[in-house]
Chains A and B, each alone.
Chain A
Amino acid sequence: MLRAGETACLANATGICPIRRRHVVLAALVSLCLVIASDLRAAEASFVLIVHVSTPERELDRAFVADAFLKKRTRWPDGQVVRPVDQRRDSAVRRHFTADVLKRSVEAVRNYWQQRIFSGRDVPPPEVEGDAGVIRYVQENPGAIGYVMAAPTAPGVRAVGLK
């Protein structure tokens, strides 16, 4: 026997009754919020900026970091050359850093560099393997800046804040 709500369902072309449809929509919204919240949590906690120990800055403006990795800013305030270093394109930490700081996807940033490379403007920062590769690069290069998953304890590098 059909009840009133189910009778209404029969007339609904979607095949989902109004009450159930609300539940589906609600569930979808909650899921979406959870996914976004999870992404945000992951993005917030997913990288640590590190610089060469000779760099005096303790906290960096996000726009400055973005410009440094896009090579629009090539000097630190004290005149030292900024040497950004990236992790591999398929690394999760790079995906988080790129989305959070550059506000683009890794692929969009790659597209940006294709434009720069083939118009003769510049070439992208070097790519190294993993956190340890970044730490080594930053250790060896005054002015270097990179990002890693965990706060490093290696000599010659220092974690900096992002504002």
Chain B
Amino acid sequence: MLGVVLGAPIAQAQEPAPARAEVAPAPEQQSQPAATPQTLPPDHVVHVAEGTPAPPASTAIPPTTPARHGFLEALVPEIHGFVSQGFLWSTDNNYLAHSERGTFEFTEVGINFTNQLTDRLRVGMQLFMRDLGPIGNYKPQFDWAYLDYRFFDWFGIRAGRTKIPFGLYNEVNDIDAARVPVLLPQSVYPTGNRDMLLAQTGGEVYGDIPLGPVGSVEYRAYGGTIYMDETDVATNIEVPFVVGGRVMWQTPLDGLRLGGTLQSVRMDFDTELDPATLAALVAAGVVPPDSDNFVHFQFPVTLWVASVEYAAHDLLLAAEYSQWDASLSADLPEIFAPYHVTNERFYVMASFRAASWFSPGAYYSYLAPDLADRSGVDGELHDVAVTARYDINDHWLVKLEGHYMHGTADLNPDLNDGVPAAALAPDWGLFLIKTTAYF
């Protein structure tokens, strides 16, 4: 998070149905006794061919999936899952993983269980693990786990660990089956920020308010904390708060929605000074002799994003503009001067389902880590991506994607042998192949 924001490396159960079914009475006969039973094969199906005349009005009843109303049935959860394996290769510069040599360090696995306990109460959890370069390392974690009570369509409450509704697609940032590109535009949905942006532990209120002829508004407001693992640089990490909200207006034009998201989060952490540095600071009188060797930092970030999406029939158009405003302050300002920076991030994206099995797409994504200074090769990152999704069947897909990159703003020196971003190749390409099985 710090690196990305600051641009610096600081840190239904099937029930057997009877083969016999009754032919129902005509509408005008509904109050009268049922017609004489007729026998139909157990696998009877009403086949409908496009453009063919409608079949006779009376229809027999074949085996079906009954509603899950019984208590025991209600205890059986819905289970869904996915497994993804990708390959990355870049012409220059290591991106997300050691991509320059080509890497299979791009794996995602998730499984979820959800259950509608009552008409209003729902519970669920998803276990997720990934490996993407230095991220994840196959460590399983709860992606989300919550209780959801929906009082009305316009007001519900979720408690637990919930996905953060940042922008249009943050909640599905790691769900390959739910989008066309392999990588969502990394300016607005940086994969490296998954721990900071994807989920929070606390509460959320949500609802959908119909507005009659002018559409409807969906709102979500949340607050809580985020649990993060320590890094080499940051220890004792705490997030005293994360609060935010998203409002999406579903316009009267089918498929067009406009919205905005605002989030504020503060991360507190410590960085340990090496003994020699501490001794030098004590000798210089900067810190008292009895001080510990930790410097305490506060890192508040305010993020907002404006979103527009048009999704109708097989076409998807989306654009988002975002700014992230971050500050960093330490209890040792003599050594660590306060720092403030504002990022600029936006993208435009299009995809089209040309056939049920083939969806091409493309996007342009832009990132400037410091609005006030875009100079240098590391001052910006332009990303032009083209992608193709092949749905082999309902549960298996393959994607191919190519990126032309100009700039090195989002590159991690740690992945590039310590070479600073400003010294990396300014023009480079990234290619990805990914396959996902899901159910």
Q: Residues of A with Cβ closer than 8 Å to B?
A: 38, 42, 45-46, 67, 72-75, 81, 83, 89, 91-93, 95-96, 99, 103-105, 107-108, 111, 114-115, 117-123, 126-133, 135-137, 139-141, 144, 148-155, 159
Contact = CB atoms under 8 A, between A and B. Distances in A.
A42 B50 contact: yes
B175 A118 contact: yes
26 contacts: A72-B153, A72-B218, A74-B150, A81-B119, A104-B312, A107-B353, A108-B313, A108-B353, A114-B178, A114-B438, A117-B112, A118-B80, A118-B82, A118-B110, A119-B171, A129-B62, A129-B63, A130-B44, A132-B64, A133-B63, A133-B64, A141-B67, A144-B67, A149-B48, A152-B24, A153-B25
A63 to B, nearest CB: 8
Contacts of B126: 118, 120
Q: Give the one of B27, B50, B63, B438 with max A CB within 10 A.
A: B50
Interface in B125-168: 125-126, 143-144, 146, 150, 152-153, 162-163
Contacts of B12: 126
Contacts of A73: 153, 208, 210
B326 interface: no
Contacts of B312: 103-104
Contacts of B26: 153
Contact of A108 (B69, B143, B172, B314): B314
Contacts of A92: 48-50
A141 B73 CA distance: 15
A132 B175 contact: no
B44 A149 contact: no
B275 interface: no
Contact of A154 (B61, B125, B163, B179): B61
Contact of B67 (A42, A83, A117): A83
A74 B119 CA distance: 9
A120 B122 CA distance: 10
A135 B314 CA distance: 29
B59 A152 contact: yes
Given A119-B144, A132-B21, A38 B51 contact: yes
